[in-house]
């Protein structure tokens, strides 16, 4: 070990710890920076791709942007005066992560092109294997593997018979020209809506296949002027003030609203969305087609300032008739109509219960992740799984998702994990994981609280598990922050 890790003063025999971080996206970069800062130098980040960046590396579709304001969607230790817009585009966000990683010399500990395929706890340590055949033995694993990383392809008859170009929104094929093309988009979630807004002016014809209407909250995406950026550079406290203001607005206006379906703030969100639709869409028939029949924010709220304009362009068409099948020349809807297409975009979302899978994880006494998650993914506070010692997840199952900054979520979780790691480092214990009892009690409380959230108010969404229970953090963000402040060691097995 290099420098003495922070907080180890006075401990008789600090234990050297070796770490593996799985994934070099936002949370993996964070882990590498924070572990290094704490003095832990035996650290490898395994990244399956040849570049870092996670979701911002993989999603490059036209119009991709973060719908969380830029000054909120940033590491607390790396405020960025150079954001171009209130909501910055995806490539700028990817460049931000690359820059932060460079500034903190993170790449030196990343092994690119190394997908961890197996991770087994044997004789008190984790034994990792990668697809390339690398073996590693570590004390602590941090799974920073992201949430939405496995594209979900729709199960529609004939998809493989399409003779044009078809690809998933998260696998955009930039070689395919859009200019002059007849483009179909299946799906109107956050991705589909952003894509429609960005491509309508480029394509000959745009057809959006909408299965369920979405509530869309307006977005005013104002560019920052050079004078404002300069001001941020010279007075960083102004960025902090801006961050604090937005964070409070998000927590009160959104975070606290969605967990109480009957709250005033929740009604305000609904009014805003309804007004947005009715003011923007003048044709009553189209307006009704675009009007959802469930409550706003039940599905993840879509944020867009240009979608309603896009779908009203003369070359755009909203199709609400169900899709019957896909044919060589296009999409056949149930009314018998063939929508002829050159390009078909599948903005159909992600397999949301994968987390670190397909990595095979084997804990104490041969217990596999497949056993532990036979019903569905669960973890104590989203972080620790019983029988999987010294294995911690960032942005794991049932955590705060929704329109939050997942960076702040990961930072809070990491601070919590480090307090557990300190027990290992100080020699107080060699293994630490949540107990079955604590995990079951947490899950029972979580599922009960989830019933009064907006996500349980009656709609189909990726937030719902196989039982229809929201797989999210059902309390306020303040509660999450308080929970992350310090672990309750009574919930853990320390051996």
For the packed helices 406-426 and 477-485, what is the interaxial angle rounded to 10 degrees? 20
Q: Which is nearer to ligand NAP, 111 or 211 (CB)?
A: 211
Min dist CB 188 to ligand NAP, Å, is: 5
Q: Which is nearer to ligand NAP, 88 or 130 (CB)?
A: 88
Min dist CB 163 to ligand NAP, Å, is: 20
| Burial of residue 435, with CB atoms counted within 10 A of its CB: 0-12 exposed, 13-18 middle, 19 or more buried | middle
Min dist CB 29 to ligand NAP, Å, is: 18
C-alpha 35/C-alpha 419 separation (Å) is 12
Min dist CB 11 to ligand NAP, Å, is: 41
Instruction: Write the DSSP assignment of 50-116 as a string of letters.
Output: SS--THHHH---TT-B-SS-TTTSS-TT---TT--BSS-BHHHHHHHHHHHHHHTTGGGGEEET--E
C-alpha 366 chain-centroid distance: 30
C-alpha 400/C-alpha 409 separation (Å) is 7
Min dist CB 194 to ligand NAP, Å, is: 6
Min dist CB 231 to ligand NAP, Å, is: 27
| Burial of residue 490, with CB atoms counted within 10 A of its CB: 0-12 exposed, 13-18 middle, 19 or more buried | exposed
Q: Which of 408, 403, 405, 401 is nearest to 77 (CA)?
A: 408
Beta strands 432-434 and 216-217, pairing class: unpaired
Q: Which is nearer to ligand NAP, 154 or 164 (CB)?
A: 154
Q: Which is nearer to ligand NAP, 377 or 386 (CB)?
A: 377
Q: Which is nearer to ligand NAP, 125 or 168 (CB)?
A: 168
Q: Which is nearer to ligand NAP, 53 or 386 (CB)?
A: 53
Min dist CB 113 to ligand NAP, Å, is: 26
Count Cβ neighbours within 10 Å for each residue of 61-77 and write b for 16 or more, e otherwise. bbbbbbbbbbbbbbbee
Q: Specify whether the CB–CB gap between 330 and 338 falls below 8 A.
A: yes
- Residue 311 has a CB neighbour count (10 Å cut-off) of 23
For the packed helices 26-37 and 90-103, what is the interaxial angle rounded to 10 degrees? 20
Q: Which is nearer to ligand NAP, 290 or 362 (CB)?
A: 290
Min dist CB 443 to ligand NAP, Å, is: 22
Torsion of Cα atoms, 397 then 399 then 400 then 403, to 10°: 0
Binding residues for ligand NAP, rule: CB under 6 A, are: 65-67, 148, 154, 156, 169, 186-192, 194, 211-212, 300, 323, 347-350, 460, 462
Min dist CB 190 to ligand NAP, Å, is: 3
Structure tokens at 22: 């799985």
Q: Which is nearer to ligand NAP, 55 or 447 (CB)?
A: 55
C-alpha 325/C-alpha 339 separation (Å) is 11
Q: Which is nearer to ligand NAP, 96 or 462 (CB)?
A: 462
In the block, tokens 């019933």 appear at: 451
Q: Which is nearer to ligand NAP, 148 or 216 (CB)?
A: 148
Q: Which of 304, 494, 312 is nearest to 403 (CA)?
A: 304
Min dist CB 167 to ligand NAP, Å, is: 13
Q: Which is nearer to ligand NAP, 348 or 390 (CB)?
A: 348
Q: Which is nearer to ligand NAP, 221 or 433 (CB)?
A: 221
Min dist CB 489 to ligand NAP, Å, is: 33
C-alpha 401/C-alpha 463 separation (Å) is 9
C-alpha 93/C-alpha 73 separation (Å) is 9
Min dist CB 193 to ligand NAP, Å, is: 7
Q: What letter does residue 223 receive in the DSSP assignment?
A: B
């Amino acid at each position: 070990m290099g420098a003495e890790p922070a907080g180890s003063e006075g401990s008789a025999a600090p234990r050297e710890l070796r770490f593996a971080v799985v994934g070099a996206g936002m949370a993996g970069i964070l882990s590498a920076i924070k572990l290094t800062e704490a003095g832990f130098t035996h650290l490898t980040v395994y990244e399956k791709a040849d570049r870092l960046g996670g979701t911002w590396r993989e999603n490059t579709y036209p119009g991709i942007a973060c719908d969380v304001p830029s000054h909120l969607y940033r590491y607390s230790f790396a405020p960025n005066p150079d954001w171009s817009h209130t909501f910055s585009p995806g490539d700028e966000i990817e460049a931000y992560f690359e820059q932060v990683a460079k500034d903190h010399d993170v790449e030196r500990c990343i092994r690119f092109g190394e997908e961890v395929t197996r991770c087994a706890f044997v004789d008190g340590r984790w034994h990792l294997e990668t697809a390339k055949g690398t073996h590693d033995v570590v004390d602590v694993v941090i799974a920073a593997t992201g949430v939405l990383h496995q594209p979900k392809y729709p199960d529609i008859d004939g998809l493989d018979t399409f003779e044009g170009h078809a690809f998933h929104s998260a696998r955009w094929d930039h070689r395919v020209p859009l200019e002059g093309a007849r483009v179909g988009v299946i799906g109107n979630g956050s991705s589909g809506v952003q894509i429609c807004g960005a491509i309508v002016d480029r394509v000959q014809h745009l057809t959006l296949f909408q299965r369920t209407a979405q509530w869309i909250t307006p977005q005013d995406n104002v560019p920052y002027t050079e004078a404002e950026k300069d001001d941020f550079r010279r007075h960083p406290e102004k960025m902090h003030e801006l961050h604090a203001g937005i964070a409070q607005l998000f927590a009160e206006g959104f975070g606290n609203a969605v967990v109480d379906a009957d709250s005033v703030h929740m009604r305000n969100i609904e009014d805003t969305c309804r007004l947005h639709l009715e003011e923007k869409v003048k044709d009553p028939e189209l307006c009704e087609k675009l009007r959802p029949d469930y409550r706003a924010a039940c599905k993840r709220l879509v944020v867009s300032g240009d979608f309603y304009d896009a779908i009203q362009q003369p070359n755009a068409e909203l199709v609400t008739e169900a899709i019957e099948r896909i044919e060589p020349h296009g999409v056949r809807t149930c009314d018998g109509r063939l929508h002829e297409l050159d390009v078909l975009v599948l903005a159909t979302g992600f397999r949301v219960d994968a987390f670190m899978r397909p990595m095979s994880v084997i804990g104490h006494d041969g217990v596999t992740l497949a056993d532990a998650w036979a019903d569905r993914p669960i973890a104590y506070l989203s972080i620790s799984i019983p029988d999987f010692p010294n294995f911690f997840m960032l942005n794991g199952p049932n955590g705060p998702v929704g329109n939050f900054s997942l960076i702040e979520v990961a930072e809070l979780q990491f601070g919590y994990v480090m307090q557990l790691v300190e027990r290992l480092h100080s020699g107080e214990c060699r293994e630490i994981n949540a107990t079955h009892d604590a995990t079951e009690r947490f899950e029972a409380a979580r599922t009960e609280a989830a019933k009064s959230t907006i996500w349980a108010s009656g709609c189909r969404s990726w937030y719902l598990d196989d039982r229809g229970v929201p797989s999210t953090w059902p309390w306020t963000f303040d509660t999450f922050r308080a929970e992350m402040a310090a672990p309750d060691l009574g919930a853990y097995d320390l051996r």
